[in-house]
């Protein structure tokens, strides 16, 4: 079977050119993925909107007039989700014209659905077709005002009528304010009773404007929800980018940093046909010094989500090979979350995959132990980690500093789980024990992304678990200081005795974030970790800003969304922090786009403007520990201050670079740089100058300073070369 022969034309044009580097394993995976796309079940998979439009049109018309209207409404919904907003609005209005005669009502109301269709039409015509750097960026500024305003003005008329009848409808109030922004009439033309005042969007601090360089660099991929990775895949000293899009025929995109301020697309480097994937994370599973990639598939698809993941081995020559089957990782479960760690400290990275179980289908989680020969074996049942649940996020972190990584599992609609790594028993069998209750970290019940970090620099790993239950009305209520039903995050501070205390309210991080994609880093190099939350859900009404929070000395988190220009209203997914231009500060690449097949948007690359603080970048090279150094604990000490870092790719949805980029604040020289490797080896280097990149070998007695070549991004030059 030729995957290019059966894939849609858009995929054929984008991804099916000749790929001389495609290995037999990659070709087999491409054929399997193409077959899944060709036989996707539109009746069961609610996200295949265009397929569902075709399927609904083939259904016979019912005899009953009410059922006929209901069928037309379902078709209009799918047209909207498929991106045919104008046709959807017309069909909704046609049904509305007949509804009164048949006493036909819907929930949401027909008026709400018509308003939404027109609002989405305005987004498509202006934020996508007429995209500029201010498009869909809250609060929408002059450059972001729509030039084609018919869609938004029709939406305004409907939302005003809706609010006349239901003035306490916060979702419609929120969307009305956004619609007025898009036509340049916010706040002065918004009816006073419905105004959300501009001051609620004011930043808590000025972080400086992070400009979006993705369009100038050709990194503004138009796609759906997906994963994002920043990593130096060819070891040339410059960070590259990989982005996925979860459409069944959407290609994985690999952009090589050319080292001259431009990027070249290198997808035809053995990656052709490797489509789909809601998330991706890099690692070095075979300890060869080149970062490999894991792509995760099937999440949210339910019974239609029996998809394979892909382990892509970096062959060290600029190409990749799909080795999933050969490595023993070819299983079929719906998932979008996984995390790498050396749970048994044998020097080889192991893999935990969080699968999605439901009342109808059992999909236990998997723990693949790396056998050191390129293959893996699932040991989840024997170690006590064959957990079931609708798993949305997983993270490894050593909570008690015993050198064994522990595991947190975020489950949507069930209590979350924290497993302590107990090590081997008397017979040498490795075990994990559930310590959730004693640790006090089971909430929130409706959760999604998760990460371990040391947000207060006290030497103990803390835990952030973000909520995933809200709507636009809850977000509006949170901004306005009103009661809401949204699920706030939990910021669990490690108290050093096996228990955690939720500090979200005290640190002002208890916002209604509705987080999907996420990650953390140090925006201003002050040595305190900040975080970015990609927000929303598949519903088109979930037009809520992605949010950035600055860590103010471990005491509170300041919302810097609007001062930094981070607040895209479109759905936020994979987030990666990394110094893309080698100037010493972290930039952010974010995959933006929704779930339904018409909910596409462009990805963004926020360039850090710089803040004058000092920094150090470490390229870890394990010898007894895993080669990538994942799980290494780093202490950077200057004077009375110590900054604590856990080596890894960050949070559970998106993947930051494996080179550890550490802000040092005002410190020009580190009194001590201390590394605690997973093997137990401890290294201490003294009098380390700041503002440099160093290679740190686990067995070395001195740091190796590397040349750093800062880049001037080609913001006024040609777009990325596409190959």
490-515 pLDDT per residue, tens: 999 999 999 999 999 999 999 999 99
Instruction: Give dist(CA 638, CA 392) in Å, integer.
Output: 38
Strand duo 660-665 + 669-676: pairing? unpaired
Place of tokens 């580190």: 670
Which of these ranges, 14-23, 143-152, 626-635, 672-681, has the smallest mean pLDDT? Answer: 14-23
Q: What is the mean pLDDT of residues 235-258?
A: 97
310-325 pLDDT per residue, tens: 999 999 999 999 999 9
pLDDT at 715: 64
Label residue 259 by pLDDT band (50, 70, 90). very high
Label residue 142 by pLDDT band (50, 70, 90). confident
Cβ atoms of residues 614 and 525 within 8 Å: yes
Strand duo 547-552 + 604-607: pairing? unpaired
pLDDT at 8 over 70: no
The first and second tokens of residue 53, run together, are 């439009």
Please provide residue 144's backbone torsions phi and psi, each rounded to the nearest 5 degrees: -90, -5
Cβ atoms of residues 597 and 301 within 8 Å: no
pLDDT at 17 over 70: no
End-to-end CA gap in the chain = 24
330-364 pLDDT per residue, tens: 999 999 999 999 999 999 999 999 999 999 999 99
Q: What is the percent of the chain with per-residue pLDDT over 70, rounded to a whole number?
A: 96
pLDDT at 41: 87
Place of tokens 């998932």: 335
pLDDT at 6 over 80: no
Secondary structure of 204-218 as H, E, C letters: CCCCCCCEECHHHHC
Cβ atoms of residues 354 and 281 within 8 Å: no
176-192 pLDDT per residue, tens: 999 999 999 999 999 99
Instruction: Give dist(CA 144, CA 133) in Å, integer.
Output: 8
């Amino acid at each position: 079977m030729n995957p290019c022969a059966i894939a849609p034309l858009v995929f054929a044009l984008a991804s099916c050119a000749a790929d001389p580097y495609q290995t037999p394993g990659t070709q087999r995976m491409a054929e399997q993925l193409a077959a899944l796309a060709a036989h996707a079940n539109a009746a069961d998979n609610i996200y295949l909107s265009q397929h569902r439009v075709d399927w609904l049109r083939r259904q016979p018309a019912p005899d009953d007039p009410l059922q006929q209207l209901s069928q037309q409404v379902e078709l209009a919904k799918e047209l909207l989700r498929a991106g045919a907003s104008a046709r959807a609005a017309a069909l909704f209005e046609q049904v509305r014209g007949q509804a009164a005669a048949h006493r036909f009502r819907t929930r949401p109301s027909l008026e709400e659905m018509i308003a939404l269709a027109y609002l989405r039409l305005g987004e498509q015509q202006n934020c996508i077709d007429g995209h500029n750097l201010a498009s869909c960026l809250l609060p929408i500024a002059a450059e972001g005002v729509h030039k084609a305003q018919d869609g938004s003005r029709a939406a305004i008329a409907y939302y005003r009528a809706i609010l006349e009848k239901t003035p306490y409808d916060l979702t419609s109030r929120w969307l009305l304010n956004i619609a007025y922004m898009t036509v340049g009439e916010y706040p002065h033309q918004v009816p006073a009773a419905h105004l959300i005042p501009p001051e609620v969007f004011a930043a808590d601090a000025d972080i400086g404007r992070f400009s979006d360089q993705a369009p100038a660099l050709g990194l503004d991929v138009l796609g759906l929800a997906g994963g994002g990775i920043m990593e130096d895949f060819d070891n040339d000293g410059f960070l590259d980018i990989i982005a996925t899009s979860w459409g069944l025929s959407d290609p994985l995109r690999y952009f090589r940093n050319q080292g001259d301020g431009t990027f070249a697309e290198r997808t035809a480097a053995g990656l052709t046909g490797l489509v789909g994937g809601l998330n991706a994370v890099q690692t070095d599973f075979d300890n060869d010094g080149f970062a490999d990639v894991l792509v995760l598939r099937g999440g949210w698809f339910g019974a239609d989500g029996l998809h394979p993941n892909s382990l892509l081995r970096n062959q060290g020559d600029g190409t990749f090979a799909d080795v999933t089957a050969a490595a023993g990782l070819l299983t079929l479960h719906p998932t979008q979350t996984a995390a790498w760690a050396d749970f048994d400290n044998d020097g080889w990275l192991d893999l935990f995959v969080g699968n999605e179980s439901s009342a109808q289908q059992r999909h236990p989680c998997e723990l693949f132990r790396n056998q050191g020969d390129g293959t893996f074996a699932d040991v989840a049942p024997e170690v006590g980690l064959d957990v079931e649940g609708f798993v949305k996020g997983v993270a490894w972190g050593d909570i008690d500093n015993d050198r064994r990584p522990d595991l947190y599992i975020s489950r949507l609609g069930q209590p979350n789980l924290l497993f302590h790594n107990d090590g081997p028993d008397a017979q040498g069998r490795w075990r994990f024990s559930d310590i959730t209750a004693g640790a006090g970290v089971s909430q929130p019940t409706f959760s999604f992304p998760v990460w371990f970090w040391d947000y207060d620099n006290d030497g103990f790993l803390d835990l952030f678990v973000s909520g995933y239950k809200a709507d636009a009305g809850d977000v509006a209520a949170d901004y306005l200081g009103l009661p809401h039903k949204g699920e706030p995050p939990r910021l669990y501070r490690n108290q050093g005795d096996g228990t955690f205390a939720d500090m979200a309210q005290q640190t002002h991080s208890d916002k209604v974030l509705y987080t999907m994609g996420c990650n953390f880093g140090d925006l201003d190099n002050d040595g305190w970790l900040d975080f970015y939350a990609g927000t929303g859900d598949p519903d088109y009404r979930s037009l809520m800003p992605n949010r950035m929070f600055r860590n103010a000395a471990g005491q509170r988190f300041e919302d810097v969304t609007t001062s930094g220009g981070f607040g895209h209203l479109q759905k936020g997914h994979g987030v990666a922090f990394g110094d893309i231009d080698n100037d010493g500060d972290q930039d952010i690449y974010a995959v933006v786009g929704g779930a339904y097949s018409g909910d596409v948007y462009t990805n963004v690359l926020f360039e850090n403007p710089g803040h004058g603080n000092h920094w150090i970048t470490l390229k870890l090279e394990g010898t007894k520990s895993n080669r990538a150094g994942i799980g290494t604990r780093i202490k950077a000490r200057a004077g009375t201050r110590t900054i604590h870092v856990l080596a890894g790719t960050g949070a559970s949805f998106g993947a930051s670079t494996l080179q550890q980029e550490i802000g040092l604040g005002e410190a020009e020289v580190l009194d001590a740089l201390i590394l605690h490797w997973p093997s137990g080896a401890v290294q201490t280097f003294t009098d380390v100058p700041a503002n440099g990149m160093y290679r740190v070998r686990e067995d070395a007695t001195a740091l190796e300073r590397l040349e750093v070549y800062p880049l001037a991004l080609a913001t006024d030059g040609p777009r990325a070369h596409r190959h």
